[in-house]
A = this chain, B = another copy of it.
Amino acid sequence: MALGKDYASQECSIARALEVVGERWTLLVVRDAIYGVRRYNDFLVHLGIPRAVLSDRLRTLTEQGILEKRRYQETPPRDEYVVTERGTALWPALRALSQWGREHADAGRLRSFRHADCGGEVGPYGTCADCGTAVPVADVVMVPGPELDTSPQDPVSRALSRPKRLLEPLETGPARLAD
């Protein structure tokens, strides 16, 4: 961890996890990656994070095998950051934090998560309220709630204010004019 020292004295898997993803912004970058954000500029405008910090987090997460840097076009060379299996394994932790935030930090219903197969809501333990199965990340659909701002400025927030299956790449629209 970057802040001065790590949690070396802690014999604890929570501390080990926080050494990897406990820095400021890191979990939000992973969250965005699971939501389908892949490009440097999309992370930048959506998070409002300083460029130097974003570069550092993307590099660290890539080194840790949580993201994978992938060239998606050659001229000009452009890379995207795709979340790996190791990264999607953080989804239960993020979902639990999201749940806690909803119930204990703002009380708003900004987004909800639903099971793609049957439409049931994903409950506090990650299982579908309707069919009871433990829903894998790829089968989760993020649905905007009533308290989510309906007219955000940046294209990334706009793309994330529509229902969207997790892990699928984000279509930010005005990226390549040829579309």
A residues contacting B by CB (< 8 A) are 1, 3, 7, 9-20, 22, 24, 27-28, 31, 47-48, 86, 89-90, 92-106, 108, 110-111, 124-127, 134, 148-149, 152, 157
Residues of B within 8 A of A90 (CB): 100
The answer, among B22, B102, B134, B152, for a CB contact under 8 Å with A24, is B22
The answer, among B1, B17, B28, B92, for a CB contact under 8 Å with A7, is B28
Residues of B within 8 A of A47 (CB): 9-10
CB-CB nearest in chain B for A152: B11
Copies in the complex: 2
The answer, among B31, B89, B106, for a CB contact under 8 Å with A100, is B89
- Whether B14 and A94, one on each chain, are in contact in the complex, defined by CB atoms closer than 8 angstroms, is yes
Residues of B within 8 A of A148 (CB): 11
Shortest A62–chain B CB gap in Å is: 15
Residues of B within 8 A of A24 (CB): 1, 3, 22
Residues of B within 8 A of A149 (CB): 11
CB-CB nearest in chain B for A86: B104
Residues of B within 8 A of A106 (CB): 13, 16
Most chain B Cβ neighbours within 10 Å, of A31, A97, A100, A105: A97
- Whether B1 and A14, one on each chain, are in contact in the complex, defined by CB atoms closer than 8 angstroms, is no
Q: Given A12-B110, A86-B104, A125-B126, is A98 in contact with B17 using a C-beta cutoff of 8 Å?
A: yes
